[in-house]
Structure formats: structure tokens, C-alpha cells
């Protein structure tokens, strides 16, 4: 019969995970349903909203546009991997800037921003807005989210400075 489960082995937040999944199960579904990592949110299921963004082998990607079997041997980071000892600096920046309202889009924004800040910390507002443009938020109007990521970037540039407190 078509679509029988197949084995998949990957790392999620540093931990080796082994599963058997139907090929049609997306990475988002696998993370949520098989591993119980429900921090990755599923919005549009067609790659438009960015809520399901996770990091695969260092790149921010849509976990709804990837089947779990495609992640064989990959290193996956989800929002659960951030700040296991209290809030991650990026999460703290979101808190401080009130960049969260309903919170549905937040994990996706965090993972997109995480990679953006690993790439560079000298973002200007315009470039950062474009970089975050693949994630939709229906509550905040985006400004506090951009403020938060800029503050986190500033803190990363000046670890002892005002913004890092």
C-alpha cells in the first residue's frame, strides 16, 4: 500500500530522535505530534505565514514545507531549544519590547531572528524588516518585533552595554 511508514533519524535540539513516519508527515507535524514539541506552530500549512519556522542545519526553514523524511540526518532546532535556563536573550528582548500579543507567530519569529542574528548583528531597520518579512503577525503591527530584534542585535554587539541589561 502507498505511504507506509519509513524510519527517520535526526537530531532535535541536540537530542537524537528516531521515529517511523508516513512520508506525508511534515517536519512540523513530526515535531508536534511525535515528539510533543508543540512550540512550533502550524498556521497556513502552505509556507506563507512563517509560524512553523525552525532551523535545519543552520538555516531557517518552513517546517510545513518539508516532510520529516527529508530531515534524515539533519540537525533541527526548535523554539524549545532556546533559553532552557530561563529566557534566551532574544526571548527576553521580545518580552521587554512587548513584541508578543497572542503569541501564535512568536516561535516562528524567534527562529527566523535567531538565524538573522547569527548571520550578522549590524542590521538596520529596513533590512531587518525585509529579513523578517516572511513571518506574519496579526496582532502587533510588527514594530515591537523589529524593536526587539534590533535590541537583541545591539546587546549582542555590546555585551556589557545598556541594551544587554
Q: Binding residues for another protein, per CB under 8 A?
A: 2-4, 6, 22-26, 29, 45-47, 50, 53, 59-62, 64-67, 69-70, 72, 112, 130-131, 133-134
Nearest 10 degrees: Cα torsion 88, 119, 11, 137: 60
Residue 118 CB, shortest distance to another protein, in Å, is: 12
Question: Which residue, 92, 63, 89, is CA-closest to 78?
Answer: 63
Tell me the C-alpha distance between 162 and 159, whole Å.
Answer: 9
CA-based torsion, 130, 115, 74, 84: positive or negative: negative
Instruction: Select 7 or 103, whichever has its Cβ closest to another protein.
Output: 7
State the nearest-atom distance from the C-beta of 162 to another protein, in Å. Answer: 30
Question: Least distance in Å: CB of 165 to another protein?
Answer: 30
CB of 50 to another protein, least distance (A): 7
Q: Which residue number, 45 or 96, has a Cβ lying nearer to another protein?
A: 45
- When the beta carbons of 92 and 107 are compared against another protein, the nearer one is 107
| SS percent in the chain: helix, strand, coil, step 5 | 40, 15, 45
Amino acid at each position: 500500500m502507498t505511504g507506509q511508514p519509513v524510519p527517520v533519524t535526526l537530531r532535535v535540539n541536540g537530542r537524537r530522535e528516531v521515529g517511523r513516519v508516513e512520508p506525508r508527515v511534515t517536519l512540523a507535524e513530526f515535531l508536534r505530534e511525535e515528539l510533543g514539541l508543540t512550540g512550533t506552530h502550524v498556521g497556513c500549512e502552505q509556507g506563507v505565514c512563517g509560524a512553523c519556522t525552525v532551523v535545519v542545519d543552520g538555516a531557517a526553514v518552513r517546517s510545513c514545507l518539508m516532510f520529516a523524511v527529508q530531515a534524515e540526518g539533519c540537525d533541527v532546532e526548535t523554539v524549545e531549544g532556546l533559553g532552557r535556563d530561563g529566557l534566551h536573550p532574544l526571548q527576553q528582548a521580545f518580552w521587554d519590547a512587548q513584541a508578543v500579543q497572542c503569541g501564535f507567530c512568536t516561535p516562528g519569529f524567534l527562529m527566523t531572528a535567531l538565524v538573522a542574528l547569527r548571520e550578522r548583528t549590524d542590521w538596520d531597520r529596513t533590512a531587518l524588516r525585509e529579513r523578517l518579512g516572511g513571518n506574519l503577525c496579526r496582532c502587533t503591527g510588527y514594530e515591537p518585533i523589529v524593536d526587539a530584534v534590533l535590541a537583541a542585535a545591539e546587546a549582542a554587539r555590546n555585551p556589557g552595554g545598556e541594551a544587554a541589561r
